[in-house]
Every structure is written in structure tokens, then in C-alpha cells.
């Protein structure tokens, strides 16, 4: 449970605010992921980083900006979000080349 | 594209009864299938996965899943449900190979399991 941590756990922001979500993994993995979880919808993969390099961007709007300074840390910078961006944002990590992913508890984001 | 479907939004079962959470898959080639559980206010936790071999896969917390190739199903089961099993359950299938290495996971929309005392 503590292998992947995320902060903050809850975030309320206005549409003009700038905020950042943080993810840290203590599992020695080299791949990290951002997902968006909305009610009654499948998880949406947003970004993937492998050895600090962004390898996937699933057509995510530019108001979401990821950053991966090292293999243990992943950020999601948010600016000028829309109310429909309100969701649970999940971070995950995995061993390079492996398919099992380990998730953090998520950040519940509300955009007013 | 590799995908899974979870036909039930919610499953209700009484404590002590067996439970089944359904999942069907659509893949080209061999399927690599997963079950994850999400407890309230928590992230997804890995339960089990099927790659090859025995059609009955055993996982965490007493759960198991049965792979059925002819029915393209991978249902999650437990012989005796506990109230603490109440959670959201996600089926997933390994998807595209990601650049750099690794694989995408394509998730279903989830099934809410409610176990009543």
C-alpha cells in the first residue's frame, strides 16, 4: 500500500489556478504512469514515463503537463482546468518490461 | 484492439455466499488478463493475473479467477464472501506495447461489489 504515494489526496481548485500533483514510488521501478478515473468509465491512461523519458501521451490536453525528474518521482502540473477535469487521478509504476502495475491512492481533484 | 467488458455495474451478495464478478475479453492473440480491486479512497490493488497455464488462477485475499477460452471470459470468484470484500473490481487486459518497453493495461469500467451481513 505504501509503495506508491500521492499528494495531495484531495484538491479543490478554480479554473484559473495552477497546481501540481505529486507521485513517489519506493519500489525501484523505472516506468511510471498517470491515469484519470471518472465515475462509470474505464481508467484512461494519460502519460507514461520510462527511465524518466515520456513515452506515451494519449492525446491529453496541454492544460495537463507531466514532469518526471527521476525514476522515483512523477508530477502532473495543472493549469486553466475545466470542470470536466474533475476526477480521481491515479499514479502507477511498474518494472520496465513488465505488465503488472502498482497504484497509488490517487488525488481526488475538483475543479470549480 | 485488446479490450475487456464488465457487464454488471453492481453485484450484491450476502456474506458467506459465493461471489462472481464477470469479465469478458476481446483480444487478438493470447490474452494476458488481470483483476484489480479498489477499496474506498484507495488506489487499485493487484489481485491476480492470467498468462498461460492453469485456467484457474489463485490470487490475494482468497480470490480466484477462471479463464474460459471458448466463452472469452475471465470471471472473478470467491467461495465465501466477506463484508470487507465490498469494493470496486476492475478487469484489465494487456494492451499495446509501450514505446521504450512495457505494456498498456486496458481496463473495464469496474463492477461495484456489495457484500451485506
Cβ count near B91 (within 10 Å): 28
C-alpha grid cell, residue A62: 496541454
pLDDT over 80 at A2, yes or no:
no
Contacts of A96 in chain B (CB under 8 A): 100-102
Mean pLDDT for chain A?
Answer: 91
Counting residues of chain B whose pLDDT is more than 70, the rounded percentage is 98
Q: Which of A22-31, A46-55, B51-60, B80-89 has the lowest mean pLDDT?
A: A46-55
C-alpha span between B57 and B68 (Å, rounded): 11
pLDDT over 80 at B102, yes or no:
no
B100/A55 CB distance under 8 A: yes
- In this complex, the residue of B32, B44, B107 whose CB is nearest that of residue A42 is B107
The residue in chain A having the minimum alpha-carbon distance to the alpha carbon of residue B96 is A99
pLDDT over 80 at A66, yes or no:
yes
Q: Can you give the pLDDT at residue A67?
A: 95
DSSP letter string, A8-46: -SEEEE-TT-EEEEEEEE-S--SEEEEEEE-TTS--EEE
pLDDT band at B100 (very low <50, low <70, confident <90, very high): low
> Smallest Cα–Cα separation from A7: which of A53, A55, A57, A73?
A73
pLDDT band at A39 (very low <50, low <70, confident <90, very high): confident
- Test mutation, B4, B5, B31, B43, chain A, max A CBs within 10 A: B43
pLDDT band at B67 (very low <50, low <70, confident <90, very high): very high
pLDDT over 80 at A54, yes or no:
yes
- In this complex, the residue of B49, B99, B109 whose CB is nearest that of residue A100 is B49
Rg (CA), chain A: 13
Instruction: Return the top range by mean pLDDT from A35-39, A92-96, B13-17, B103-107.
Output: B13-17
Q: Can you give the pLDDT at residue B1?
A: 78
Question: Cβ contacts of residue A93 below 8 Å, gap of 6+?
Answer: A3, A4, A25, A27, A29, A31, A32, A33, A101, A102
Q: N- to C-terminal Cα distance for chain B?
A: 40
Q: Can you give the pLDDT at residue B11?
A: 97
pLDDT over 80 at B19, yes or no:
yes
Average pLDDT over residues A45-72: 89
How many angstroms away from the CA of B88 is the closest CA of chain A?
Answer: 11
- In this complex, the residue of B42, B46, B107 whose CB is nearest that of residue A100 is B46
Average pLDDT over residues B2-16: 95
Q: Nearest 5°: phi and psi at A104?
A: -85, 180
The residue in chain A having the minimum alpha-carbon distance to the alpha carbon of residue B93 is A99
The residue in chain B having the minimum alpha-carbon distance to the alpha carbon of residue A89 is B43
Q: Can you give the pLDDT at residue B101?
A: 67
pLDDT over 60 at A1, yes or no:
no
DSSP letter string, A52-89: TEEEEE-S--TTEEEEEEETTEEEEEEES--GGG-EEE
A96/B108 CB distance under 8 A: no
Mean pLDDT for chain B?
Answer: 92
Amino acid at each position: 500500500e505504501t509503495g506508491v504515494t500521492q499528494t495531495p489526496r484531495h484538491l479543490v481548485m478554480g479554473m484559473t489556478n495552477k497546481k501540481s500533483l505529486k507521485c513517489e514510488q519506493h519500489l525501484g521501478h523505472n516506468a511510471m504512469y498517470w491515469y484519470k478515473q471518472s465515475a462509470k468509465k474505464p481508467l484512461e491512461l494519460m502519460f507514461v514515463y520510462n527511465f524518466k523519458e515520456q513515452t506515451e501521451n494519449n492525446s491529453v490536453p496541454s492544460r495537463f503537463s507531466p514532469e518526471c525528474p527521476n525514476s522515483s518521482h512523477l508530477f502532473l502540473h495543472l493549469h486553466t482546468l475545466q470542470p470536466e477535469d474533475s476526477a480521481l487521478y491515479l499514479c502507477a509504476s511498474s518494472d520496465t518490461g513488465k505488465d503488472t502495475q502498482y497504484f497509488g491512492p490517487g488525488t481526488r481533484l475538483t475543479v470549480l | 484492439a485488446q479490450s475487456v467488458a464488465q457487464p454488471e455495474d453492481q453485484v450484491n451478495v450476502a456474506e458467506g455466499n459465493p461471489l462472481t464478478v464477470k469479465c469478458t475479453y476481446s483480444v487478438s492473440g493470447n490474452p494476458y488478463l488481470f483483476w484489480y480491486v479498489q477499496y474506498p479512497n484507495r488506489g487499485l490493488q493487484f489481485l491476480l493475473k492470467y498468462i498461460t497455464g492453469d485456467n484457474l488462477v489463485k490470487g490475494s485475499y482468497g480470490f480466484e479467477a477462471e479463464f474460459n477460452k471458448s466463452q472469452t471470459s475471465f470471471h472473478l470468484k470467491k467461495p465465501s464472501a466477506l463484508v470487507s470484500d465490498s469494493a470496486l473490481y476492475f478487469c484489465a487486459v494487456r494492451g499495446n506495447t509501450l514505446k521504450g518497453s512495457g505494456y498498456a493495461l486496458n481496463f473495464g469500467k469496474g463492477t461495484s461489489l456489495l457484500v451485506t451481513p
